[in-house]
């Protein structure tokens, strides 16, 4: 539309496509920078002297290299998704951020590349070779284009008049020459050279000679700080591209920002002053008949902001004299002027115990006791005041009604709930970082008060809990005595510091440290703590956290140093507070700043202690209703689930065939290239607990022949060896491990058909399709564990929970060095029934049967509940041969081994990614757990139903698409994983 016909000038739209030089160069060099280049990142000289920790530097360097690779891959994915016009402002922002990144990438390329012969190709704006034409237009005598030799002269004169590239220290930015030397005779229009000449030449060399030829022109030695700056530029470009109009923007790992949290105000003495007054006034207001306790909330983020009145303290007081109830109290420090402006209902508190008991008797529902205390000049009397109006207001807005600080940190540690997420903990690394910093800030601000007269331990740190939920796990309560003892002495102060070091280390490791610092010498206790730190190393790159633990032993050394520098004139309390900040709090601030999304980490949350890994909320398979436990004498049988026989002409048979065709394509592209002798990857081991196996079955022999051919083509000398590596019968039968009913044979066949690179271990637990004694199942699970299997397939189920089988599954799924993944059939009894055990076991992945298109149209699957996650895969219309009779069968018994085969493919791929260092050891370990595998299943699944309780249909090609590389898939997986640093 012409602008003259419009009342307003329309916004100009542009395209950030290959006509833009910056986009063209990015596209040209992306293939190189999205590979694993051998970067050698070195810390700055002053950092090396200050830190002196080579292991930590190596860990940080590995983390930074992974971030750089993630960002470069995301740039490629984001650029691929851009389509259509964008606003002029968005275009300009993309141009600026791309230019910043290209300027950094330009410094990574050596000057030597400019000395290489120019490839006989010129890139047009669309990256296509320009047509060659050495003749003048309209001239047939073969003469050269007029002026062309002159242009060549200018170019070569400029190139050979360039200074020799100087040796550059690792990571130093090279000078980009953008103009020819003076006096070369170049006309004015040729005075400008390409803005990124080395990247231009690199792109052409990349297209002409491939990636390996370009490695020698990359400065792999870089300074860590410079590389982090480059990552930040890549992140800025990704953020810009993600905001454009494109489909399905993808999340990214963001590089650590410099400082994301304000420095702790250690100079602020307001929290110290007010908390001291509150403790004293509470003591003076209680009855003196017995020992009283109090629980003060430790919220270091709020406490550090205590500057102006009113200031709040949250605490719990026990009922007196029964002590069977904890009364929540909100205490506000207010000025006398503010107190005078309150309502007439405010009354002075004479006996706090009476007020607490009276409040409990008058109110049946939990009510918060609102208390004010005056902030007056030192030497003046002040009192506690009860404010009913404020009490009613706070009670109405109480979000944790009925919760009380009754669960100690020691209790959580002993239950294993503070261990690492892959080991079943519920406190993530970010939760621990927030908790530790909050406690350390409170430790600093309460230093020198009666709140610290007893050492802080895991026993006296209590969490607000109700039933099996923890409210606000970042800010627990300190449980201490209300008495009039003096603040800690010097010896008690050292004990407090050493106990705090133990507390921090227990939070980080999730393990109890059963050494009391008061029972051993200071040197011995320090050696014990440091030995634990040394054994753990700078795990996840948490050097800063470990430095805070170590700093607890150096506070008094810093105090002596500051005291000497001040010449005895400084305030002793301020010197101590400054030393605590330098040695403990500041390292924990740095540790907190490693959190990618600190705002989200500070959200008030609840942790569910009855289900592991609740912090991140991975997919869980939970039974809709509580199942009954099998009682002695029960006649209920365990049965195998192969359901209806499908007619040969049924379209579901064709869909099943299409599923296997897609699986074959997936395997040929993503799995088979890794199955080489030189790769060194070990086959995944699967145990099939079923009716045995008939190795002469023609259907099974067909897939065994295919596997032998694949292994022979891959160069394996033992290609003739069968992938069935072990068989054993656990039933009294003269037939040994032979399958008489065909069920176990076809389950084994489906596992091998889905994952041809596995080794099978066959355990015969029944001679028929039903059995009553589960002893064989327990023995078979133990035998499979002895074989070191990675996966178990249990294609049977019962309406009752068998405790012996359940305990055996618990042992298998918690075994080390890695847990066993267990798959079980959900049942074939339709929507009027429930899923059966062991599919309902919390650590078992239950599998539903779908057709080859992922539809739930077999009419076999049991009922489901909204809010839970259910997985299904092909289990309908599968053709098989038994006793020379061909038929197509359906059932969750056949879906379970296919799901197990898909999991085996995932495990095999994960081993390769860990070997190539595309996944960290902690990411690899977590993805091997049942929570991690459920997460991977969700990434490669599509919903089969529109309802909230639909089944997710497993199809690996959803995640491993043809247009994605391993790096791309790793990046997608990292989006929702726990944040391992």
Catalytically active residues, by annotation: 690, 743, 893
Query: Coil, helix or strand for 283?
Result: helix
Placement of tokens 């404010």 in the chain: 387
Query: Coil, helix or strand for 921?
Result: helix
Cβ-proximal residues to 926 (8 Å cutoff; 6+ apart), any chain: 421, 422, 932, 977, 978, 980
Look at the alpha carbons of 177, 179, 185, 187 in this order and tell me if their dihedral is positive or negative: positive
Q: Can you state the angle between helices 803-813 and 775-786, rounded to 10 degrees?
A: 10
Query: 942-964: buried (b, 16+ CB within 10 Å) or exposed (e) per residue?
Result: eebeeeeebbbbbbbeebbeeeb
Q: Are 945 and 959 a contacting pair, CB within 8 Å? A: no
Query: Coil, helix or strand for 581?
Result: helix
By CB atoms closer than 10 A (0-12, 13-18, 19+), residue 21 is: middle
How many CB atoms are located within 10 Å of the residue 570 CB? Answer: 13
- Torsion angle defined by CA atoms of residues 965, 969, 974 and 980, in that order, rounded to the nearest 10 degrees: -60
What does the DSSP assignment read for 182-196? TTS---GGGS---SS
Cβ-proximal residues to 980 (8 Å cutoff; 6+ apart), any chain: 429, 540, 920, 922, 923, 926
Q: Report residue 730 as tokens.
A: 């656990």
**3-class secondary structure for 44-71?**
CHHHHHHHCCHHHHHHHHHHHHHHHHHH
By CB atoms closer than 10 A (0-12, 13-18, 19+), residue 117 is: exposed
Cα 593 to its chain centre, rounded Å, is 16
Q: Report residue 886 as tokens.
A: 């061909």
- In 3D space, the residue among 769, 812, 938 whose CA is nearest the CA of residue 869 turns out to be 938
CA distance 480 to 478: 6
CA distance 893 to 825: 5
Placement of tokens 């405790």 in the chain: 803
What does the DSSP assignment read for 123-143? B-TTSPBPPP--B-TT--S-P
Q: Report residue 774 as tokens.
A: 């589960």
Q: Are 13 and 85 a contacting pair, CB within 8 Å? A: yes
CA distance 512 to 975: 33
């Amino acid at each position: 539309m012409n602008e003259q016909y419009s009342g307003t000038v329309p916004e100009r739209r542009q395209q950030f496509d290959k006509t833009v030089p910056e986009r063209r160069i990015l596209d040209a060099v992306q293939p190189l920078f999205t590979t694993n280049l051998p970067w050698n990142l070195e810390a700055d000289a002053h950092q090396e002297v200050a830190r002196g920790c080579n292991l930590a530097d190596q860990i940080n360097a590995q983390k930074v290299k992974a971030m750089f690779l993630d960002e470069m891959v995301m740039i490629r994915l984001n650029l691929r998704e851009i389509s259509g016009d964008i606003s002029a402002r968005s275009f300009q922002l993309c141009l600026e951020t791309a230019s910043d990144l290209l300027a950094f990438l330009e410094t990574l390329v050596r000057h030597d590349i400019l000395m290489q012969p120019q490839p006989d190709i010129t890139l047009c704006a669309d990256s296509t070779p320009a047509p060659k034409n050495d003749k003048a237009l309209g001239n047939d005598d073969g003469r050269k284009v007029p002026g062309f030799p002159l242009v060549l002269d200018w170019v070569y004169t400029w190139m050979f008049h360039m200074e020799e590239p100087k040796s550059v220290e690792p990571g130093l930015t090279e000078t980009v020459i953008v103009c020819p030397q003076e006096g070369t005779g170049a006309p004015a229009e040729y005075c400008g050279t390409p803005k990124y000449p080395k990247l231009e030449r690199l792109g052409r060399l990349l297209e002409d000679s491939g990636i390996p030829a370009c490695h020698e022109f990359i400065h792999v030695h870089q300074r860590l700080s410079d590389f982090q700056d480059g990552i930040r530029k890549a992140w800025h470009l990704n953020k810009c591209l993600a905001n454009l109009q494109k489909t399905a923007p993808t999340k990214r790992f963001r590089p650590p920002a410099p400082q994301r949290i304000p420095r702790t105000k250690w100079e602020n003495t307001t929290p110290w002053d007010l908390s001291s007054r509150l403790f004293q006034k509470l003591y003076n207001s209680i009855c003196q008949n017995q020992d009283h306790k109090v629980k003060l909330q430790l919220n270091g983020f709020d406490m550090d902001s205590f500057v102006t009145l009113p200031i709040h303290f949250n605490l719990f007081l026990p009922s007196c004299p029964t002590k069977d109830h904890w009364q929540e109290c909100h205490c506000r420090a207010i000025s006398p002027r503010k107190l005078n402006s309150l309502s007439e209902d405010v009354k002075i508190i004479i006996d706090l115990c009476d007020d607490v008991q009276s409040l409990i008797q008058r109110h049946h529902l939990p009510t918060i006791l609102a208390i004010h205390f005056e902030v007056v000049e030192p030497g003046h009397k002040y009192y506690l005041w009860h404010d009913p109006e404020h009490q009613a207001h706070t009670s109405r807005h109480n979000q944790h009604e009925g919760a009380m600080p009754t669960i100690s940190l020691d209790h959580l540690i002993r239950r294993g709930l503070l261990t690492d997420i892959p080991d079943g903990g519920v406190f993530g690394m970010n939760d621990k970082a927030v908790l530790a910093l909050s406690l350390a800030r409170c430790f600093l601000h309460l230093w020198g008060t009666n709140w610290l007269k007893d050492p802080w331990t895991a026993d006296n740190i209590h969490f607000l809990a109700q039933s099996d939920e923890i409210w606000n796990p970042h800010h627990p309560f300190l449980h201490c005595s209300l008495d009039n003892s003096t603040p800690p002495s010097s010896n008690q102060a050292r004990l407090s510091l050493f106990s705090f070091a133990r507390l921090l280390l227990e939070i980080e490791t999730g393990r109890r440290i059963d050494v009391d610092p008061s029972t051993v010498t200071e040197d011995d206790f320090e050696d014990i703590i440091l030995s634990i730190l040394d054994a753990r190393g700078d795990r996840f790159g948490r050097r800063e956290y470990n430095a805070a633990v170590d700093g607890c032993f150096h506070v008094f050394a810093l105090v002596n140093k500051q005291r000497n520098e001040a010449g005895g004139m400084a305030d002793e309390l301020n010197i101590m507070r400054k030393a605590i900040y330098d040695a403990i709090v500041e390292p924990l601030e740095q540790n907190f700043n490693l959190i990618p999304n600190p705002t989200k980490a500070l959200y008030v949350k609840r942790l569910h202690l009855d289900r592991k890994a609740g912090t991140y909320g991975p997919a869980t398979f939970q039974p809709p209703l509580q199942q009954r436990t099998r009682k002695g004498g029960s006649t209920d049988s365990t049965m195998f689930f192969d359901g209806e026989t499908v007619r040969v002409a049924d379209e579901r048979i064709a869909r099943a065939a299409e599923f296997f065709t897609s699986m074959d394509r997936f395997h040929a592209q993503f799995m088979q290239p890794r199955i080489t002798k030189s790769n060194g990857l070990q086959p995944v081991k699967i145990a099939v607990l079923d009716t045995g196996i008939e190795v002469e079955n023609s259907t099974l022999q067909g897939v065994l022949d295919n596997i032998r051919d694949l292994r022979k083509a891959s160069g394996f000398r033992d290609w003739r060896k069968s992938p069935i590596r072990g068989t054993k019968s656990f039933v009294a039968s003269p037939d040994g491990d032979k399958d008489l009913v065909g069920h176990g044979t076809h389950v084994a066949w489906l596992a091998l058909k889905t994952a041809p690179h596995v080794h099978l271990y066959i355990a015969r637990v029944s001679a028929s399709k039903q059995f009553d004694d589960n002893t064989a199942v327990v023995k078979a699970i133990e035998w499979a564990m002895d074989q070191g299997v990675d996966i178990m397939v249990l294609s049977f189920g019962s309406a009752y929970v068998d405790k012996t089988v359940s305990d055996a599954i618990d042992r298998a799924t918690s075994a080390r060095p890695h847990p066993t993944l267990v798959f079980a059939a959900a049942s074939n009894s339709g929507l009027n029934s429930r899923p059966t055990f062991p599919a309902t076991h919390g650590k078992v992945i239950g599998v539903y049967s779908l057709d080859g298109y992922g539809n739930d149209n077999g009419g076999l699957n049991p009922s489901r509940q909204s809010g839970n996650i259910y997985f299904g895969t092909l289990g309908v219309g599968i053709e098989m041969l038994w006793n020379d009779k061909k038929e197509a069968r359906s059932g969750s018994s056949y879906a379970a081994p296919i799901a197990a085969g898909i999991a085996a493919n995932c495990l095999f791929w994960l081993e390769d990614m860990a070997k190539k260092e595309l996944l960290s050891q902690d990411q690899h370990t977590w993805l091997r757990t049942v929570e991690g595998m459920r997460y991977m299943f969700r990434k490669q699944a599509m919903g089969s139903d529109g309802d909230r309780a639909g089944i997710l249909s497993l199809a690996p090609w959803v995640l491993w698409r043809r247009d994605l590389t391993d790096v791309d898939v790793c990046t997608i997986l990292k989006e929702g994983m726990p944040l391992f640093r």
